[in-house]
Amino acid sequence: MSKANKKEGLRTSAVHRGVYKDSSYNSVTTPIYPTSTFFFDGLGKNKGYDYTRSGNPTRAALEENIAALEGGLGCSVTATGMAAITAVLFLCRNGDHIVTGDDIYGGTYRLFDQVFPQFGITFSFVNMRDLTQVKNAIRPQTRMIWIETPSNPLLNIVDLEAVIKIAKAKKLLTVVDNTFLSPYFQKPFDFGADIVVHSTTKYINGHSDVVGGAIVYNDKTVRDRIRFLVNALGVSESPFDSWLVLRGVKTLAPRMEVHQANALAVAGFLEKHENVKKVYYPGLKSHPQQALIKKQMKGFGGMLAFELDTKKVKLDLFFKSLKYFSLAESLGGVESLIESPWLMSHASMGEKALNASGMTKETIRVSVGIEDADDLIADLNQALRG
Ligand SMILES: *Cc1c(COP(=O)(O)O)cnc(C)c1O
């Protein structure tokens, strides 16, 4: 049933890719195969799977789905987003150098700053909005450019086309972490990226009930090496978790539409509030990178940040007063979450890097859920009274 079709829309792919796998009973959803191993029919004769770390039909179904959404050649699904990032980093060797942004996800920063340097891989953290900084950071040892856009939590936009062009001129691999917008709002392969990574924990799964990651590739050599690495490192996703993500991803498109409509409403409300100093959201006219947003994004997403006037509203009291926004890390689920990047999600960066990234102790990050916008705004309004 239903073969992949190049012209098929993303909403259709989200529902129809990675399903119809059950020829025994024709279930319309893909079964979970909770097995560690698969028996051989004879020496050298199996049905395509031998051991679940290396491959599992439920995981393969999810890989097919996500590859179709990103428009990639294939995908490897991993146990977490950090597992995906780790596997991609193993494309590098001792002595290699990577250029990346100074406002990337806190966990990625920690991995780049504190783990991979142990193996002789070095990093330059630059302001990627400034193409001169990107160019100047490239050395003879540079092997990869790691891009995250929009950035977390300040929603700065990196010019995918321009940075990838700089990378291609030097034959560097480009990796884009597309977690924040999901393929529904941004397609990095359209701009020539080599690899797209996701924390499927966020919008792809969308229900805050699983952690997972994905690596999508567009080239056979990269595919073979990544598949080798995910198996060799042992970072692949469990069949149960793969099934949950496959269930979640089917509603990616309608969820993203509601996340975005609610984020637009909440951002507009916050921008007018006297106890809010500044709002960061790509959907606001006040975002300074309008042309770039139009060029590379099909939407603005559901993440925003703002500066609370903590002289007027105490941070702790503000969080405590909220009814619908849970004080929690993570993002991209159906429920609204709120947090302090300085004290929570990005704390591991340390004060110096936090300051350099432009965050303050008053920065608040919001993952706007799919509740009724009016309820979310009323809730923020009462908490902002202080
Ligand atoms: C959450 C996140 C990650 C890490 O993913 P986990 O699933 O938590 O391991 C990486 N990049 C971005 C942009 C994220 O938001």
What is the tens place of the pLDDT at every residue in 83-92? 999 999 999 9
State the distance from the centre of ligand 1 to the C-alpha of 87, rounded, in angstroms: 14
CB of 333 within 6 A of ligand 1: the answer is: no
Q: Considering the domain boundaries, does residue 4 fall inside one? A: no
Both 292 and 206 in one domain: the answer is no
* Strand partners of residue 358: none
Q: Considering the domain boundaries, does residue 190 fall inside one? A: yes
Q: Is 177 a catalytic residue?
A: yes
At 116, the pLDDT band (50, 70, 90 cuts) reads very high
Cα 107 to Cα 82, 133, 175, 180: the distances in Å are 7, 23, 16, 14
Element (H, E) at 86: helix 81-89
Q: Which of 249, 266, 300 is the last residue of a domain?
A: 249
For residues 89 and 236, what is the distance between their CA atoms, to the nearest angstrom? 15
| Distant-in-sequence, close-in-space partners of 6: CB < 8 Å, separation ≥ 6 | none
Both 280 and 173 in one domain: the answer is no
At 2, the pLDDT band (50, 70, 90 cuts) reads very low
CB of 159 within 6 A of ligand 1: the answer is: no
Q: Considering the domain boundaries, does residue 296 fall inside one? A: yes
Both 38 and 71 in one domain: the answer is yes
For residues 250 and 90, what is the distance between their CA atoms, to the nearest angstrom? 31
Both 342 and 243 in one domain: the answer is no
Both 162 and 295 in one domain: the answer is no
CB of 214 closer than 8 Å to CB of 66: yes
CB of 199 within 6 A of ligand 1: the answer is: yes
Active-site residue, selected from the candidate residues 17, 129, 143, 202: 202
Residue 386 CB neighbours (<10 A): 14
Query: Among the atoms of ligand 1, which is closest to the Cα of residue 201?
Result: 7
For residues 259 and 335, what is the distance between their CA atoms, to the nearest angstrom? 10
Query: Whose C-alpha lies nearest to ligand 1, atom 6?
Result: 81
Predicted confidence at residue 5, as pLDDT, reads 54
pLDDT in tens, 38-55: 999 999 999 999 999 999
pLDDT in tens, 160-210: 999 999 999 999 999 999 999 999 999 999 999 999 999 999 999 999 999
In which domain, by residue range, is 332 found? 252-383
Active-site residue, selected from the candidate residues 96, 103, 159, 177: 177
CB of 300 closer than 8 Å to CB of 287: no
Active-site residue, selected from the candidate residues 11, 21, 49, 53: 53
| Number of domains into which the chain is organized | 2
Both 165 and 218 in one domain: the answer is yes
State the distance from the centre of ligand 1 to the C-alpha of 23, rounded, in angstroms: 35
Among 214, 225, 189, smallest CA distance to 63 is for 214
Q: Considering the domain boundaries, does residue 1 fall inside one? A: no
CB of 341 within 6 A of ligand 1: the answer is: no
Query: Whose C-alpha lies nearest to ligand 1, atom 5?
Result: 81
At 135, the pLDDT band (50, 70, 90 cuts) reads very high
Whole-structure pTM value: 0.96
- Tokens read off for 153: 């939590």
Q: Is 20 a catalytic residue?
A: no
Both 311 and 231 in one domain: the answer is no
Q: Indicate if the pLDDT at residue 94 is higher than 60.
A: yes
In eight-state DSSP terms, residue 34 is -
CB of 286 closer than 8 Å to CB of 271: yes
CB of 208 within 6 A of ligand 1: the answer is: no
Both 70 and 214 in one domain: the answer is yes
Cα angle: 361, vertex 332, 176; to 5 degrees: 85
Query: Whose C-alpha lies nearest to ligand 1, atom 8?
Result: 81
CB of 337 within 6 A of ligand 1: the answer is: no
Active-site residue, selected from the candidate residues 105, 184, 217, 281: 105
Q: Considering the domain boundaries, does residue 264 fall inside one? A: yes
Sign of the dihedral defined by the CA atoms of residues 293, 264, 178, 7, in that order = negative
Q: Considering the domain boundaries, does residue 111 fall inside one? A: yes
For residues 291 and 288, what is the distance between their CA atoms, to the nearest angstrom? 9
Among 255, 284, 289, smallest CA distance to 270 is for 284
For residues 300 and 292, what is the distance between their CA atoms, to the nearest angstrom? 12
Q: Is 255 a catalytic residue?
A: no
* Burial of residue 147 (number of CB atoms within 10 Å: 0-12, 13-18, 19+): buried
Both 224 and 100 in one domain: the answer is yes
Both 116 and 178 in one domain: the answer is yes
Sequence-ordered alpha helix ranges (H) in 239-340: 239-249, 252-272, 290-296, 315-321
Amino acid (1-letter code) at residue 29:
T
CB of 100 within 6 A of ligand 1: the answer is: no
CATH number, residue 209: 3.40.640.10
Q: How far apart are the first and last CA of the chain?
A: 57
Q: Is 109 a catalytic residue?
A: no
Both 177 and 285 in one domain: the answer is no
In whole numbers, what is the pLDDT of the chain averaged over residues? 96
Query: Whose C-alpha lies nearest to ligand 1, atom 4?
Result: 81
SS3 291: helix
CB of 177 within 6 A of ligand 1: the answer is: yes
Buried b / exposed e along 259-284 (16+ C-beta atoms within 10 A): bbbbbbbbbbbbbebebbeebbbbbb
CATH number, residue 314: 3.90.1150.10
CB of 81 within 6 A of ligand 1: the answer is: yes
Q: Indicate if the pLDDT at residue 1 is higher than 60.
A: no
Q: Which of 199, 220, 249 is the last residue of a domain?
A: 249
Query: Among the atoms of ligand 1, which is closest to the Cα of residue 85?
Result: 10
Q: Which of 208, 227, 249 is the last residue of a domain?
A: 249
Both 167 and 261 in one domain: the answer is no
CB of 237 within 6 A of ligand 1: the answer is: no
The best mutation among 86, 88, 109, 179 to test binding of ligand 1, ranked by most ligand atoms within 8 Å of the C-beta, falls on 179
